[in-house]
Amino acid sequence: MRIKIGTKIRELRKEKNISQEVLAQYLNVSFQAVSKWEQEITLPDLELVPAIAAFFDVSTDELLQCNRLETDKKVERICNTAYRYRMDAPERAEEILREGLRQFPGNEILLNNLLYVIRGPERSSEVISLCTTLVRSAKQEDVRLDALRILAQTYWETGRQELVLPTLEQIPEIYFTKLELCAQLLEGNAALDAAEQQIIVSLEHLLTMLRRVKELTQESDPQRAARCEDAARTVAHAMEGYDPKLFCAAFFSDAVRQLAGRQES
């Protein structure tokens, strides 16, 4: 069944007594484009769907007239499938996610996952555009914050340092995580699963910060840099026998070797 998003846009626009010109100005498109959407001649770009939903203060599921629960289940399956290819075959992961977006246009979870496979200097403009859309219109706060994080990282990678701090200042400083609280306050397997997942998250953060301190002190304080590398090696050694079922073992092993300054034999 074809999604009649244009019909829904027209209904919402008339319900709120808003002209095509006002909607077009908000989306930075021509009013002719809006007119073509409403006549079902063309569809909005996928990246515009969250912004359209935000403009009318509805969810993307309502805009697309989808069943929310069923959509969430299907989107989760798509993301899980794409994740398996994220490290070794990002092109395949992107194909899976874009196919999902054809089925669920503008879904912010799929768009958020897409950001992880279109990284790189040659696609920085695409990343920035998508991040900006999600920052402005994502309904889920974790999606919006992740988009801010990736946006700041992309500005840094592309030498736009003057935009890094203003972007980071939009991210609140949080000293706890949901996983950490679940591990502390729940019981049984729920607490155990949360604790083990938090170990991986915390370990990745620790190794990343050790690497960063090493980079920053390599010339000014070589001894301190060496201590950071030694600490990373110690952590890596301690985690070598950790249960590989809890995470993507290949990714973790590679990350540990890189952060600890190891080389493949």
Give the tens place of pLDDT for each residue, 162-200: 999 999 999 998 888 899 999 999 999 999 999 988 988
Q: Rounded to the nearest 10 degrees, what angle do helices 5-15 and 20-27 cross at?
A: 110
Give the count of beta carbons closer than 10 Å to the beta carbon of residue 262: 15
Closest among 61, 10, 64, 65 to 37, alpha carbons compared: 10
Instruction: Report the SS3 class of residue 76.
Output: helix
Q: Residues 227, 149, 93, 178: is their CA dihedral positive or negative?
A: positive
Which H or E run includes 249?
Answer: helix 249-259
pLDDT at 264: 42
Amino acid at 55: F
- Report the percentage of the chain scoring pLDDT > 90: 45
Higher-confidence position of 103 and 76: 76
Mean pLDDT of the chain: 85
Q: How high is the pLDDT of residue 263?
A: 42
Cα torsion through 148, 164, 98, 67, rounded to 10: 10
Is the per-residue pLDDT at 256 higher than 70?
no
* pLDDT value of residue 66: 66
- Using CA atoms, how far apart are residues 45 and 62, in angstroms rounded to an integer? 17
The gap between the terminal CA atoms of the chain, to the nearest Å, is: 54
4 contact partners, CB below 8 Å, separation of at least 6: 40, 65
**214: number of Cβ within 10 Å:** 20
What 3-state class would DSSP assign to 106? coil
